[in-house]
């Protein structure tokens, strides 16, 4: 959450700008956990599946088919994610997007 307000830059992993998977990569690295770099690789190579009713803060929420966006669940139906150009890192609802899958990494 300390990165809310940071700018969106495709391919960036921080510390002052991020793309969606770069933010997850950076956040988990701060906790000593290594994630693959892209949202698709994070989906296929990290953690275990969870259902929407079992989401806990820190779980990854993946969007679209093929997977092309990821955010981190923070509780109360909200996630932090690097949204897009001109928007940057924000907190928003997990609904309103085409959720593909959810995974628990830690």
Q: In this predicted model, what pLDDT tens digit does every residue of 48-57 receive, in sequence order?
A: 999 999 999 9
Among residues 3, 8, 20, 61, which one is catalytic? 20
Q: According to the model, what pLDDT value does residue 96 have?
A: 78
Q: According to the model, what pLDDT value does residue 106 have?
A: 82
Q: Is 20 a catalytic residue?
A: yes
Among residues 69, 70, 80, 83, which one is catalytic? 69
Q: Is 44 a catalytic residue?
A: no
Do the Cβ atoms of 48 and 103 come closer than 8 Å? yes
Q: For the chain, which ranges sit under pLDDT 50?
A: none
94 exposure class (CB count in 10 Å sphere: 0-12, 13-18, 19+):
buried
Contact residues for 16 (Cβ-Cβ < 8 A; gap 6+): 6, 7
Q: Is 87 a catalytic residue?
A: no
Do the Cβ atoms of 47 and 97 come closer than 8 Å? no
Among residues 60, 71, 81, 102, which one is catalytic? 81
């Amino acid at each position: 959450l300390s990165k809310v307000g940071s700018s969106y830059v495709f391919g960036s992993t921080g510390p002052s700008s991020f793309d969606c998977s770069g933010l997850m990569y950076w956040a988990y690295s701060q906790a000593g956990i290594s994630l693959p770099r892209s949202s698709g690789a994070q989906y296929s190579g990290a953690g275990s599946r969870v259902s929407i009713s079992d989401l806990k803060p820190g779980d990854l929420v993946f969007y679209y088919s093929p997977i092309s966006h990821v955010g981190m669940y923070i509780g109360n139906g909200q996630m932090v994610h690097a949204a897009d150009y001109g928007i940057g890192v924000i907190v928003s609802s997990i609904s309103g997007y085409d959720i593909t899958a959810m995974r628990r990494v830690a």
